[in-house]
Amino acid sequence: MGRRPEQPIGLLFDVLAVEERVGQLLRLALAETGLKPMEYAVTSLLATLGPTTPSQMAKGIGMRPSTLSGHLAALTRRGVIQRERAPVDGRSALLELTEEGQRLQRDAVAQVKRHMVRLQTELSNPVEQVRGVLNDLANALDRTVEAAG
């Protein structure tokens, strides 16, 4: 278990430290599937939204489209997602999970859920409350980035 600094460095440091721990847990949970944590995020979002565009995905994940495109290309090469021209705007693509992608996503979710059961028992606050705080933080970060940009 990592030792936390005695003097708080700041909120963003705390978030980065939590992000690293989330990555550790997801890498452990996903080891058997071959998915990386961000690939799990991409496939999870596609499983939730259904066919969608890369720009909708980038907004949902909170990632720059150029960063997301690398993950999409890797998943497409592996046959996890398929890409077709968007019917409304032929310049854009419509992404969805392939049958193999759906199977891989189900396996990944099952692995992650095993670890989530333990994580939830370790929380001091109800999951809904934690998610509410995280949602508030994400929205505040979006507004701050928008104001700064």
| Closest-CA residue to 141 (of 95, 49, 149) | 149
Q: With contact defined as beta carbons under 8 Å apart, do 34 and 100 qualify?
A: no
Give domain status of residue 92, yes or no.
Answer: yes
Confidence tier at 62 by pLDDT (50, 70, 90): confident
Q: With contact defined as beta carbons under 8 Å apart, do 3 and 11 qualify?
A: no
Give domain status of residue 48, yes or no.
Answer: yes
Give domain status of residue 91, yes or no.
Answer: yes
Give domain status of residue 137, yes or no.
Answer: yes
Question: Could you say which DSSP state residue 124 is in?
Answer: S
1 pLDDT exceeds 80?
no
CA–CA separation, 52 and 93 (whole Å): 8
Average pLDDT rounded to a whole number, residues 12-17: 91
pLDDT of residue 5: 63
Give domain status of residue 123, yes or no.
Answer: yes
Structure tokens, 39: 């690939």
Give domain status of residue 88, yes or no.
Answer: yes
Q: With contact defined as beta carbons under 8 Å apart, do 86 and 53 qualify?
A: yes
CA–CA separation, 146 and 48 (whole Å): 26
The alpha carbon of 100 is separated from its chain's Cα centroid by a whole number of angstroms, namely 19
Give domain status of residue 44, yes or no.
Answer: yes
92 pLDDT exceeds 80?
no
What is the residue range of 48's domain?
A: 11-148
Average pLDDT rounded to a whole number, residues 5-17: 83
CA–CA separation, 54 and 72 (whole Å): 8
Give domain status of residue 15, yes or no.
Answer: yes
User: What CATH number does the domain containing 48 carry?
Assistant: 1.10.10.10
Give the count of domains, the chain: 1
